[in-house]
Chains A and B, each alone.
Chain A
Amino acid sequence: MSASTQTLTDDTPVIPPAPEQGGAGLGAFLSGRLRQVGIFLALIAIVILFQVLTGGTLLTPRNVTSIIGQNAYVLILAIGMVMIIIAGHIDLSVGSVVAFVGAVSGIMIVNWGWPWWIGVIAAIVIGGVVGAWQGFWIAYVGIPAFIVTLAGMLTFRGLTQMVLHNVPITPFPDAYVAIGSGFLPDLGGGKTTFEPLTLVLGVAATLGLVGQQIRERSKRVKLGLEDEPRSWFLSQAIFTAVFVLAITFTLASYRGTPIVLVILAALILIYSTLMHQFVFGRHIYARGGNLHAAQLSGVDTKRVDFLLFVNMGLLAGIAGIAFTARSNSALPGAGTGFELDAIAAAFIGGAAVTGGVGTVTGAIIGGLIMGVLNNGMSLLGLGTEVQSFIKGFVLLLAVAFDIFNKRRAANASK
């Protein structure tokens, strides 16, 4: 590490390598992260609220498992959507793409009798091709993403209905259905109170995440770059551990780890890392923050735009499989409104309409807030009309909070 730093500074004359201890109080530190912390607290508050209102039903192992299964595909879409929103675009087509790839995999697997895994791979590839098609018009022809994906929303809905002849395809083979509603094998044979494999995975994930945080911090401390107050770091690490372990034990006491959760967790990990630590992620933020400045810094913004939509297509392919598998049928009307849920998740999670701002974890938390609201209100017996009404307010409040917050910061700096 220090060796590579040395080479870097050798390339850059005038500049002595000058690490320095910066620092701010915990209060100032937290106020800079008000949005991130606030959204998390909001999720916890909503969970507690519904836990009380439903008399404890919300957090039963069975219900937690079902919240995960019901929301996984929208969360997968939200990952791609927040990236697109950070770049300053929007994608209205993902709901239709979900339906389209589901239909194609249904035709291949059920109608033609191909092996399920070929159907899965084909669905993801087709998602990517659809993304490339839309990305081409957006990046290289210069048509606004709103228009291209609105067109895509209609086109791919139409295509879905055409290939399905408006008739659902069902049932799918068990291996395929398991992707959406199956579990990792129960190593206890159903006889243990807590399912052993889930415990092993949960503890491993906790150790991995916390261990990674500690390693990163010690690296920064060694270089004299640490600017996080120790108390913040500790509470973050403890929170991560408690959160992951709580989910682990809850799931382990029901049927174990849903397969779709493994997929979702892997995607969250991959994409947060991509956005924060990789050049491509940086270019997305740069493109959304100031297009001209990014271009004049040598960022190939067209390529960034194109790849973003290809990526969204791939994720829509994965979400499409998860949804089709969970419903065990490919439906002509599948995925209607998913794009709006994904967009809402991104904005509740702190993304800015003007681009340049947002995080993958924020979008996931935003999506979970929506998911818990849906689930909690259903448990209370409220109809979809009330759910829709309330969710609208939550979205509005979250963004209003953002804007209020931004004004306060702007006034404070004046």
Chain B
Amino acid sequence: MTNDPILAMVDITKTFPGVKALQDVNLTVERGEVHAICGENGAGKSTLMKVLSGVYPHGSYEGEIVFEGAPVAFSGIRDSEHAGIVIIHQELALSPFLSIAENIFLGNEQQRGGRIDWNATNLKAADLLRRVGLAESPVTKITDLGVGKQQLVEIAKALSKEVKVLILDEPTAALNDTDSAHLLGLIDGLREHGITSIIISHKLNEIKAIADRVTVIRDGRTIETLDLHADEISEERIIRGMVGRDLESRFPEREATIGDEVLRIEDWTVHHPLEHSRLVVDHANLHVRAGEVVGIAGLMGAGRTELAMSVFGHSYGRDISGQLYKNGRPINASTVKQAIAHGLAYATEDRKRYGLNLIDDIKRNISGSALGKLAHFGHVDANAETVVANGYRKSMRIKAPDVGVITGKLSGGNQQKVVLSKWMFTDPDVLILDEPTRGIDVGAKYEIYTIINAMAAQGKAIIVISSELPELLGICDRIYALSAGRVTGEVDVATARPERLMQLMTQEKE
């Protein structure tokens, strides 16, 4: 390898209140290479890229960024773009009702004497579109393009800014195979234009196909940088770097008493709500028994939340097919109300958006899903409600002086306890917990695990969705691996190896 680094990030440490997101991270990128960054969800990849692109401005982190031989101090994304570093986020940032050309030059309008020069705009845009291999007119509206083509528009936009280093965050997560292949080919081709790419990806086969080197990040630290040309690096070798951490006793002990099957999901297929032809969940089969904690592992975009929400009263997706069986009998749970009546409960991964009424108090949030239990002829017994909520406040250890506290003022851990209380009050048989410990500090995580254990001990069937493999291995009895909407395997935790699970999670369609 020619030793000509274009970019070096030296000893980067980034702290959020209570959490060290990055610690002494080092990253060196050679001029003209495709450099991949790998790591589990939450390992710190995106944080690192936000530091690099100035989203977290200079001064909010420790360490040094050296770009083209000189230290730089970006105070915002405009600075980094000006220097030639452009980031393309996973959620594309295009304005849907503007044309391709307008989007490409948004914030960088082609003007002459204060008026927009539409001819120059469209001509230059057409030239850029040719370079990225997108056969569309520059005046086409973004909303008329598929995700794959939108991704190409983002790259064209980056090229218009005379990009030197292009950062792509999970560029193929939402793409089908053909679009992915085209995009990867394009990134490969950018090398010849002297553009260096940094690509964040979970898909090891893609990394192997186009990257020159890969840096593995775990728990906010750099683990290693592997040269994919020099050595014969296998996917297994990369996986070992990603998961290689010892499972400490961060999980409470549990005696599992497993009973009969409570819920079976058969042939479950869900289509994307907007792109009808896209399968989000693909003929999934799984089951869970009384007193059992079953995990669902999968990388971002694998369809975990979509599976859970579609099962819970068809809250996601369209053209849902498949059958649910409760205690062996087929059930129809196509509305949330029916799902709750059949004893299903779903605690969302996004508490603030989908879980709580943040402007209302603890007791009304807890009673929200089963208000009927507290009502006679529609009249709510407010005293009984307070008594019930107080009971949960104590048993779940919700840290608040009383149940009249507004939930928006609680910490993440306490908000999650309110959500769990709300669902326990519906007296469910099956609890689906989506990322139950996301955004919660370590101490509160232990409490949540204890609550999960207690619920299982009562004979509830529990499904846990989590991005953290150690968490799943620490609290589950069995784990299903999900990849691209398909159940790619099932492992028994007693004999499971994290490497095997990661392999199933990254398994692509043959």
Answer yes or no: do A and B interact.
Answer: yes
Which residues of A pack against B, CB within 8 Å? 1, 4-5, 8-9, 11-20, 22, 24, 219-220, 223, 225, 227, 276-280, 282-283, 285-286, 289-290, 292-300, 356-357, 413
Whether B383 lies near A286 (C-beta < 8 A) is no
Interface pairs (13), CB distance under 8 Å: A4-B381, A5-B384, A12-B391, A14-B395, A14-B424, A15-B388, A20-B402, A278-B375, A282-B368, A292-B353, A297-B336, A298-B335, A356-B360
What is the CB-to-nearest-CB distance from B16 to chain A, in angstroms, rounded to a whole number?
Answer: 15
Whether B409 lies near A12 (C-beta < 8 A) is no
Whether A4 lies near B357 (C-beta < 8 A) is no
| B419 nearest CB neighbor, chain A only | A293
Whether B387 lies near A289 (C-beta < 8 A) is no
Whether B427 lies near A223 (C-beta < 8 A) is no
Whether B364 lies near A282 (C-beta < 8 A) is yes
Whether A16 lies near B357 (C-beta < 8 A) is no
User: Which B residues, 297 to 333, have Cβ-Cβ distances below 8 Å to chain A?
Assistant: 312-313, 315
Whether A277 lies near B454 (C-beta < 8 A) is no
Whether B383 lies near A223 (C-beta < 8 A) is yes
Residues of chain A within 8 A of B404, CB atoms compared: 22, 227
Binary interface encoding of chain B residues 411-435 relative to chain A, with 1 for a CB under 8 A from any of its CBs, else 0: 0000000000010110100000000
In the assembled complex, the Cα of A298 lies from the Cα of B394 at a distance in Å of: 26
Residues of chain B within 8 A of A9, CB atoms compared: 387-388, 391
Given A290-B358, A293-B354, does the pair A225, B386 have CB atoms closer than 8 Å?
yes
Given A298-B337, A413-B409, does the pair A8, B394 have CB atoms closer than 8 Å?
no
Contact residue among B315, B337, B427 (Cβ-Cβ distance under 8 Å from A12): B427
Residues of chain A within 8 A of B262, CB atoms compared: none
In the assembled complex, the Cα of A16 lies from the Cα of B387 at a distance in Å of: 10
Interface size of B in residues (CB-CB distance below 8 Å):
55
Whether A277 lies near B390 (C-beta < 8 A) is no
Asked if B371 is at the interface of the complex by the 8 Å CB criterion, the answer is yes
Residues of chain B within 8 A of A292, CB atoms compared: 353-354
Residues of chain B within 8 A of A289, CB atoms compared: 357-360
In the assembled complex, the Cα of A357 lies from the Cα of B361 at a distance in Å of: 12
Whether A8 lies near B357 (C-beta < 8 A) is no
What is the CB-to-nearest-CB distance from B65 to chain A, in angstroms, rounded to a whole number?
Answer: 31
Asked if B369 is at the interface of the complex by the 8 Å CB criterion, the answer is yes
In the assembled complex, the Cα of A285 lies from the Cα of B371 at a distance in Å of: 13
In the assembled complex, the Cα of A22 lies from the Cα of B389 at a distance in Å of: 13
Binary interface encoding of chain B residues 325-355 relative to chain A, with 1 for a CB under 8 A from any of its CBs, else 0: 0000000000111011000001010000111
Whether B395 lies near A296 (C-beta < 8 A) is no
Asked if B113 is at the interface of the complex by the 8 Å CB criterion, the answer is no
What is the CB-to-nearest-CB distance from B1 to chain A, in angstroms, rounded to a whole number?
Answer: 49
In the assembled complex, the Cα of A296 lies from the Cα of B335 at a distance in Å of: 9
Contact residue among A8, A24, A300, A356 (Cβ-Cβ distance under 8 Å from B401): A24
Given A19-B390, A286-B368, does the pair A4, B401 have CB atoms closer than 8 Å?
no
Binary interface encoding of chain B residues 192-203 relative to chain A, with 1 for a CB under 8 A from any of its CBs, else 0: 000000000000
Whether A13 lies near B336 (C-beta < 8 A) is no
In the assembled complex, the Cα of A299 lies from the Cα of B369 at a distance in Å of: 8
Whether B390 lies near A20 (C-beta < 8 A) is yes
Binary interface encoding of chain B residues 174-199 relative to chain A, with 1 for a CB under 8 A from any of its CBs, else 0: 00000000000000000000000000
Whether A277 lies near B379 (C-beta < 8 A) is yes
Given A5-B383, A22-B402, A286-B360, does the pair A296, B425 have CB atoms closer than 8 Å?
no
In the assembled complex, the Cα of A357 lies from the Cα of B358 at a distance in Å of: 11
Residues of chain B within 8 A of A4, CB atoms compared: 376, 381, 384
Asked if B374 is at the interface of the complex by the 8 Å CB criterion, the answer is yes
Contact residue among B339, B378, B422, B458 (Cβ-Cβ distance under 8 Å from A279): B378
Contact residue among A11, A17, A220 (Cβ-Cβ distance under 8 Å from B373): A11
In the assembled complex, the Cα of A299 lies from the Cα of B313 at a distance in Å of: 12
Residues of chain A within 8 A of B357, CB atoms compared: 285-286, 289-290, 293-294, 356
Contact residue among B380, B454, B458 (Cβ-Cβ distance under 8 Å from A282): B380
In the assembled complex, the Cα of A283 lies from the Cα of B375 at a distance in Å of: 13
Residues of chain B within 8 A of A297, CB atoms compared: 336, 368-369, 422
Whether B359 lies near A278 (C-beta < 8 A) is no
| A287 nearest CB neighbor, chain B only | B357
Contact residue among A227, A278, A290, A357 (Cβ-Cβ distance under 8 Å from B378): A278
Contact residue among B337, B372, B391, B403 (Cβ-Cβ distance under 8 Å from A15): B391
Contact residue among B355, B378, B383, B455 (Cβ-Cβ distance under 8 Å from A225): B383
Whether A279 lies near B336 (C-beta < 8 A) is no
Asked if B382 is at the interface of the complex by the 8 Å CB criterion, the answer is yes
Given A279-B371, A293-B357, does the pair A225, B387 have CB atoms closer than 8 Å?
yes
What is the CB-to-nearest-CB distance from A331 to chain B, in angstroms, rounded to a whole number?
Answer: 39
| B347 nearest CB neighbor, chain A only | A296
In the assembled complex, the Cα of A219 lies from the Cα of B384 at a distance in Å of: 11
| B354 nearest CB neighbor, chain A only | A292
Residue from A276, A285, A297 whose CB has the most chain B CB atoms within 10 Å: A297
| B346 nearest CB neighbor, chain A only | A296
| A220 nearest CB neighbor, chain B only | B383
Residues of chain B within 8 A of A18, CB atoms compared: 387, 390-391, 394-395
Apart from A285-B364, A297-B422, 13 more pairs, CB < 8 Å: A5-B383, A14-B455, A15-B391, A16-B394, A20-B394, A279-B371, A282-B364, A282-B368, A290-B353, A293-B357, A296-B315, A298-B336, A298-B369
Asked if B505 is at the interface of the complex by the 8 Å CB criterion, the answer is no
What is the CB-to-nearest-CB distance from A347 to chain B, in angstroms, rounded to a whole number?
Answer: 16
Residues of chain B within 8 A of A16, CB atoms compared: 391, 394-395
| A278 nearest CB neighbor, chain B only | B378
Residues of chain A within 8 A of B348, CB atoms compared: 296
Asked if B356 is at the interface of the complex by the 8 Å CB criterion, the answer is yes
Residues of chain B within 8 A of A280, CB atoms compared: 378
